[in-house]
Amino acid sequence: IVEHLYRQGMLSVAEDLCQESGVVIDMSMKQPFLELNRILEALRMQDLRPALEWAVTNRQRLLDLNSTLEFKLHRLYFISLLNGGITNQLEALQYARHFQPFASQHQRGRDRLPGWGLPG
């Protein structure tokens, strides 16, 4: 039940249940759920940075799973910079270096990004 509550983001309810029942949950089991909920809360606030940090830290695991999550998060952040207007253009250009590790895998997706491949 406690695991389910952690998965659902009901951290305080899970903690209360543990306290009331005397169940001790090892921190190593709680940590992934705490991190997940921190990332989800940031995403609700339209902050991609915690998700990006997690994806970069876990790059090899994601690659082993053939996941495109990190690339998609970088792409979303890049687009959000472009949507910020002309004042963010330099930052967006600098941020584009984050696509280098994915160049061979995601050539088609990269070429569809706004402003990519334009004569310069």
Condensed to tens digits (0 to 9), the pLDDT of residues 21-50 reads: 988 888 888 888 889 889 999 999 999 999
- Report yes or no on whether pTM surpasses 0.85: no
Residues of the chain under the 70 pLDDT cut: 104-120
Q: What is the DSSP string of 38-50?
A: HHHHHHHTT--HH
Domain map (residue ranges) of the chain: 1-47, 59-120
Q: What is the pLDDT of residue 62?
A: 92
Classified as helix, coil or strand, 10 is coil
Quote the mean pLDDT of the chain: 84
| Alpha-carbon span 71 to 82, nearest angstrom | 16
CA-angle at 63, arms to 57 and 42, nearest 5° = 40
